[in-house]
Chain A
Amino acid sequence: MINVLKNAIKIVYHGEYRWIPSSLAFYFIISFIPLLFGLSLFIIRYFISDLSLINHILVINNIDFDLASFVQYVKDDFKDASLVISIAVFVVSLFFSCNGFRGIMYAIESMYDLKKISFFKSYLYAILLNLSLLLVIIIMIVLTNFLPLILDFLHIDLKLNLYFLILLIVIFVIIYLSYGLVSDFKLKFKDIILGVLFSTIMIFLMIILSNYIFSMTRFNFLYGSLAFIIVLAHFFFYMSWAIYFGLVLNVAYLQYKNSNKKKYIL
């Protein structure tokens, strides 16, 4: 285990793929936010009509945010935007954001000496990964911020531990699928489980910590309305590092396993 860790740290600091976390964070920040925003706009415009109940839940829980006015503001602002153009912007931003994951795929193929995934397949996988991570972010925001309020509102006494367990399982499944997809499922479960577990735990701890820090400190005094973006940017950067280090752990583990195999054969 120590050898694997040593090897992993060596790859992180001396490998040629040190650009991965920053690149991934860059694509997250540049592309994920418009993607998330575009999707929110689409939902706001076409699916949500009455937000008074959500406003009531927020105010009763001492969160003084007028969601209905915000939605109305967005609706008024985008009322002239055509559906075709909105979808076009969404698709373009989706394709642009795929480059982060395509970069990872390229790196993984080189690290593991795998056969290259075809151009279309890599785009398809990258879109799936982007959408699944979008899902993770939405689930994270809902679970960590609003689930306790919603459960409290519905008078459902779900134990706090249970809801953290659900969060942990959701992150684990998505990270596992992500690691499987970037290698085109050519790697066995036991070969990637170490990295998946590491990334899952790191991301889970980051969510808990960032929520704790955000609730304990008042970033908005310093950054105003940019506070959310600042926290999100930090979160993406550390999440990219967690994903990258998980991948590196897997590579280190495989290298260690193969080196042992060779010794045995010899």
Chain B
Amino acid sequence: MNNYFMKTKRLGFKKWNDNDLYLAIKLYSNPHVTKFISAEGVFSDEMIRDRFNLELSLQKKYGYCYWPVFLLDNDAFIGVCGLRPISLPDKGYVLEIGIHLLDTYWHCGYASEAMSKVIKYAFDDLKVDNLFAGHNPNNVRSKTMLLSLGFKFYQECYYEPTGLMHPSYLYNYD
């Protein structure tokens, strides 16, 4: 039983279980993944555990989080992709979409495929009016991907974990 609650052509999304900490360790102990999402460039064991607990609590409270994503072909874990609520000063609560993939699965089109599915889920199932996304200013590929998905530049927002001003984008339901 694969228990995928959402699928694309090549990918499957699962819900987190209490025993899935090893997946979070696999992803967030990879320095290629964490170099763009933390100031130090690496996650400590405590940070990984906190991150995992955050995803579990978001999933329990709202029904969404950054879900673990797997390849349908061989059930290999490739990373996480999903949604979380954030508060913007001028817009109140909006959902932020994000993706973190293991470096071996970069440049294969998986990010766009997973993000497109999550965007569709947010607008069709959660009925949100807009989506927020941001990226590390040094991560040029994320910018290209967000623009190609239809995101429009919103403003530079301070991102505490990296201590940098991250370019941020909005996707409106039109």
* A60 vs B132: C-alpha distance when bound (angstroms): 13
Given A60-B85, A154-B127, do A52 and B62 touch, yes or no (CB 8 Å)?
yes
Q: When the two chains form their complex, are residues A52 and B127 in contact, meaning their CB atoms are under 8 A apart?
A: no
Within the complex, the shortest CB–CB distance from A57 to chain B, in Å, comes to: 9
Is B63 an interface residue when CB atoms closer than 8 A count as contact? yes
Q: Shortest beta-carbon distance, B123 to chain A, in Å? A: 10
- Does chain B have a CB within 8 A of A56? yes
Min Cβ gap B164→A in Å is 27
Distance in angstroms from A156 CB to nearest chain B CB is: 11
What chain B residues lie within 8 Å of A50 (beta carbons)? 63
B92 on the A face (CB < 8 A) = yes
Inside 8 A of B59's CB, which chain A residues have their CB? 52
* A153 CB contacts on chain B under 8 angstroms: 127
Residues of B with C-beta under 8 A to A155: 127
A208 contact set on B, CB distance < 8 A: none
What residues on A are CB-neighbors of B93 within 8 Å? 59-62, 64
Tell me whether A56 and B92 are in contact in the complex, defined as CB-CB below 8 angstroms, given that A153-B127, A155-B127 are known contacts.
no
Summarize A's interface: helix, strand, loop or mixed: helix
Q: B residues near A, CB below 8 A?
A: 59-64, 85, 92-95, 126-128
- Beta-carbon nearest neighbor of B83 in chain A: A56
By a CB distance below 8 angstroms, the chain A residues around B94 are 60
Q: Is A93 an interface residue (CB 8 A)?
A: no
- Are A55 and B92 neighbours in the complex by a CB distance under 8 Å? no
9 interchain residue pairs of minimum CB distance: A52-B63, A62-B92, A56-B62, A59-B85, A153-B127, A59-B93, A55-B62, A52-B62, A68-B61
| Residues of the B chain whose Cβ atoms lie less than 8 Å from the Cβ of A64 | 93
Contact for B61 among A60, A62, A66, CB less than 8 A = A66
Given the known A-B contacts A59-B85, A60-B85, are A52 and B60 also in contact in the complex, defined by CB atoms under 8 Å? yes
Q: Which residues of A contact B62 (CB under 8 A)?
A: 52, 55-56, 59
B134 CB to nearest chain A CB (Å): 19
Verify if A266 is at the interface (C-beta below 8 Å from B).
no
- Which residues on the A side are within 8 Å of B85 (C-beta)? 56, 59-60
Given the complex, which residues of B lie within 8 Å of A66, measured CB to CB? 61
